[in-house]
Structure 1
């Protein structure tokens, strides 16, 4: 019996090589897009009750008692937390962005205050403005509701994450 000589091993097809190179380039581009502004907005939203992902991201003003809205989690005492603003600083139907704290605070209706992380879930950019009932990300024009942070328009597929705040008298604090 004679042994058969080994057959030459063919390398990957040209299409396979080109497709793999394209996929690697796309992955690199998507990674770069997702991390573009993260370094300037890396501050986490935290307080005595946890991080930005905590439940209980709403607070309502209630005759100065600092009661919390529909959150359900443990809320900080009225005297604790990082002071953000006076209630008069937040326009009704609009809001204000606090870049250093990484949050946006809104007042969807008179006397009701909400807070969300200011990081867009699409590409990680910081939201840039609040007007006409929406929070707008300048990078790709994703828009979010001032009422609940839900996605209204743009490439983002999810809404903004709720952040915990407390309202005591005329002061808004991170919880």
Structure 2
């Protein structure tokens, strides 16, 4: 086999392995979104139950690209879970702030504003509605 043909076969094999690895990493997103399986486009599926969102805290719904907070009892807010610094996904809500793990930007749970950078722009709000105990996109 010539050197050129051998490189072509090796490159094609590597591309096939990469595709298989990426496919294996894919999923419905049900693991991240509380098991609703809504990451496949079922926008009407609830994002969370009100009881899952602590007062003064929140919950990142990774499979749906949103973080839901409850700054005061009965007041629910939602923001994009994509950090405005370089686009990393925020990872947690802790001590009244939404935290990005990449560069430690922090955002206020009541309005998404930056409390510490390097991010300079707030998290964009997301429309939600609360019906009974369910929180859904509004």
Provide the rounded CA distance (Å) in 2 between the counterparts of 1:148 and 1:102.
Answer: 17
Correspondence for 2:19: none
Correspondence for 1:127: 90
Paired residues in the alignment total 97
Provide the rounded CA distance (Å) in 1 between the counterparts of 2:90 and 2:70.
Answer: 16
Is it true that 1:82 corresponds to 2:60 in the alignment? no
Deviation of residue 167 (structure 1)? Answer: 0.2
Correspondence for 1:146: 109
Higher share of residues assigned helix? 2
Correspondence for 1:94: 57
Provide the rounded CA distance (Å) in 2 between the counterparts of 1:133 and 1:97.
Answer: 13
Q: Secondary structure at the match of 2:126?
A: coil
When the two chains are superposed, the root-mean-square deviation of aligned CA atoms in Å is 1.4
**Larger Rg over CA atoms:** 1
Q: Which runs of 5+ in 2 are unaligned?
A: 1-25, 27-42
Deviation of residue 82 (structure 1)? Answer: 3.1
Deviation of residue 131 (structure 1)? Answer: 1.0
Deviation of residue 132 (structure 1)? Answer: 0.8
TM-score (norm 2): 0.68
Provide the rounded CA distance (Å) in 2 between the counterparts of 1:143 and 1:128.
Answer: 11
Provide the rounded CA distance (Å) in 1 between the counterparts of 2:98 and 2:122.
Answer: 10
For each residue in 1:17-45, what CA deviation from the matched residue of structure 2 results, as whole angstroms up to 9, or x when unmatched?
A: xxxxxxxxxxxxxxxxxxxxxxx9xxxxx
Runs of 4+ in structure 1 over 3 Å off: none
Q: Which runs of 5+ in 1 are unaligned?
A: 1-39, 41-79
Provide the rounded CA distance (Å) in 1 between the counterparts of 2:50 and 2:92.
Answer: 18
Correspondence for 1:171: 134
Correspondences of 1:51-62 after superposition (within 5 Å): none
Provide the rounded CA distance (Å) in 2 between the counterparts of 1:113 and 1:98.
Answer: 14
Correspondence for 1:115: 78
